[in-house]
Structure 1
């Protein structure tokens, strides 16, 4: 009799990591029936039982989520009804804590026999340690990506396995031997429409200022989807920067290995850039209500994953009002003109990326889930 699994991912990075994990899990259990919600990569592995909702679900920030509360409430109800009908043996939740932690609570009440595993642990150590005891009651196991997370979750009584970061496997496959192009700057505004709307015009203005001072400087950026690529090209035209800025459809990892330096939106891309040794500055800008709430609850010195993992400042962080053309232009100009600064940053980034663990994260995560399949 086939075993059924329900899985939910709500962002592009979660879709990528989820696809790798599901692929490894199907190698172990080919008969596994997979249902749930994710993105195109997960659907390719899982088949028609998994809906592709990532492009609509990947919104960031409290204010942005509240504006679409009705839509999320409908999706929540649909998925809960579906999982109640399927009664899967296992529920795997991938990152996306705002939705997934609530869903885990609802499923625990409705289906007490379903085992609930969380892959890519939510960063409650940053914003709400008070939720740890509740998570320990609802979840059966946490699969975490960073070594410092394991004792935090175990301390709350939650079974936890450190599997390492799946980026190590995914990025190693895309490593190339291309040399870096002198005077090429990467503009990486994120994979969400809202991020692009908030950050890309500012990046283009910084690029315009830099191109005026250094005409030899060229800029490249990559749309995370055809829709975003089209929008970014429209913004480049509006900024009259066609002569210096090239927008490609995808290919961010290749660009990270070719560019001399870059500016990167806070998120998974900052770890990716670190892995490839791309010197960069980090930018972060959300709606002010979202930022004020976050500032009140997050008790960290840095918001960038690289700086948190390193335990100190490796890259500059420009947050909210500081995420402006002047700060970004100055940071990029220093990378372009100061080779020692550029190389020192590159070395620190590579050393920090080394803390992400060795290859095999997808298979270690799949093996942990497979233990529950066999029980």
Structure 2
């Protein structure tokens, strides 16, 4: 029996972990035993989680500080469970604030157990020194962005391999990837996507400014429609937040509705994050904005990257505009979006860049299949 421990701290990692288990089981069959931390998707693949990972789904330095005692207890509990179980390998997925503490404790107690990090820390964005430190307790990194292996090699990190981003396996995205971006023109009655974030704190910090931006656009572009795709648990919050908007966007939940909105959109105003990659691959020109929590804002000097936008990292130049804190100004955001909602040089430049992103991220097999092969090779090496 091959026993593999998993440490996953949030829903996005849960989906990736479930996909990895699915492909590992395809190779190992009933000779696979999984345990550790995971969510609902991994539970469907047979993992019984040590506790509800919703406890770890936090963002921002302020939130981490507020819940530090709880996190410390969970680190000790989880590390002890993994060490006592003596697995054949440990796979940690994202959430480095939590998962890497488990990895370091396991390496200290059982240096013979190999450790794989699927979605390693974003050392290309901040705290580059983490890459070299990881060599002591990570045997292999599995990356979801094509530029990451070179970054980890340059920073003397653990061996790293690009397998493709999980979004490339999203069935709703595939029809959009097949649509040519060459000559894609704006609609006569343009549609705007408004994406204020996937967490409550992000929505609270951005929704009002996004509303003022949309109000200004509606004055200069009569007939402009807008859609806000969001998670079901945030729908009431969004609807309360837009109650006093002069023109109400349509609020949708569910994957089918989200991707239908992406397919019909001419441009997007979005919180900087993974959604920017989804928009790029779907061919939706965008303007990005973000506001950190108060403590994170005070620590912003720790950010060493030249950009926070994933599309910009992938193509290597400032393709999509970014706006942070004091520069999140509705008048500025609206003027940028006007240039993307009509056929301009800015719109064409983004679409050309999105085509480059598609080519750089192209893969010839599902990411989970390639990741499973890497985990199995690490197991064979011991």
Could you tell me the TM-score, scaled by structure 1's length?
0.89
CA distance in 1, matches of 2:33, 2:51: 14
2:362 corresponds to = 357
Q: Is residue 297 of structure 2 the alignment partner of residue 291 of structure 1?
A: yes
For the structure 1 residues 147 and 183, does the alpha-carbon distance in structure 2 shift closer, same or farther, using more than 3 Å as the test? closer
1:300–1:154: structure 2 CA closer, same or farther, 3 Å change rule?
closer
CA 1:370/1:171 → structure 2, altered by over 3 Å: closer, same or farther? same
Equivalent pair of 1:169/1:359 in contact (CA under 8 Å)? no
**1:262 is the counterpart of 2:296:** no
Per the alignment, residue 165 of structure 1 pairs with: 165
Aligned residue in 1 for 2:353: 348
2:134 aligned residue? 135
Contact persistence 2:93–2:117 (CA under 8 A): yes
Cα deviation 1:86-105 (Å, max 9, x = unaligned): 22221111122222222211
Instruction: Determine helix, strand or coil for the equivalent of 1:191.
Output: coil
Distance 1:185 1:52 in 2: 36
Please point out which of 183, 186, 192 is paired with 1:185: 192
Aligned pair count reads 369
Change (3 A) 1:249 1:94: same
Using the TM superposition, name which of 354-363 and 163-172 deviates more.
163-172
Q: Secondary structure at the match of 1:337?
A: coil
User: Relative to 1, partners in 2 of residues 1:286 and 1:159: Cα closer, same or farther, differing over 3 Å?
Assistant: same
Measured against aligned partners, the alpha-carbon deviations of 1:268-291 in whole angstroms (never above 9, x if no partner) come to: 111111111100011111124313
Contact 1:43–1:52, Cα closer than 8 Å, also in 2: no
User: 1:115–1:140: 8 Å Cα contact kept in structure 2?
Assistant: yes
- Residues 58-77 of structure 1 correspond to what in structure 2 (within 5 A)? 58-77=57-76
Using the TM superposition, give the Cα deviation of residue 106 of structure 1 relative to its aligned residue in structure 2, in angstroms.
1.6
Query: Structure 1 stretch 44-53 or stretch 114-123: which is displaced more?
Result: 44-53
What's the offset of the Cα at 1:109? Answer: 1.6
Aligned partner of residue 360 in structure 2, secondary structure: helix
Find out whether 1:315 has 2:314 as its counterpart: no
SS at match of 2:125: helix
- The answer as to whether partners of 1:190 and 1:264 remain within 8 angstroms in 2 is yes
Distance in 1 of aligned mates of 2:28 and 2:51: 21
State the Cα distance separating 1:171 from its structure 2 match.
Answer: 5.6
Unaligned 5+ segments in structure 2 are: none
* Partner in structure 2 of residue 244 of structure 1: 248
The residue that corresponds to 2:119 in the other structure is 120
Q: CA deviation at 1:59?
A: 2.1
Verify the 8 A CA contact 1:13 1:268 in the aligned structure 2: no
Hey, what does 1:109 align to over in structure 2? 108
- The answer to whether the 8 Å contact 1:266/1:304 transfers is yes
In 2, are the aligned partners of 1:223 and 1:249 still within 8 Å (CA)?
yes
**TM-score after normalising by structure 2:** 0.88
Tell me, in whole angstroms, the C-alpha distance in 1 between the residues paired with 2:311 and 2:12.
Answer: 16
**Which residue matches 2:25?**
26
Worse overlay, 6-15 or 100-109 = 6-15
Distance 1:53 1:86 in 2: 20
Post-superposition CA distance 1:227-280 (Å, at most 9, x none): 11221122122x345x53111113333322221100121111111111111000
What is the deviation of 1:358?
Answer: 1.1
1:38 Cα deviation after fit:
3.0
SS in 2 for 1:112: coil
CA distance in 2, matches of 1:345, 1:201: 26
Partner of 1:272: 278
Whole-Å Cα distance in 1 between the matches of residues 70 and 210 of structure 2? Answer: 31
1:88 corresponds to = 87
Partner residue, 1:197:
204
Deviation readout 1:195-240 (Å, 9 max, x if unpaired): 111122221221122223333111111223x211221122122x34
Provide the rounded CA distance (Å) in 2 between the counterparts of 1:254 and 1:15: 24
Q: Secondary structure at the residue paired with 2:227? A: strand
Q: RMSD of aligned C-alpha atoms?
A: 2.4
Q: Give 1:211's aligned residue.
A: 218
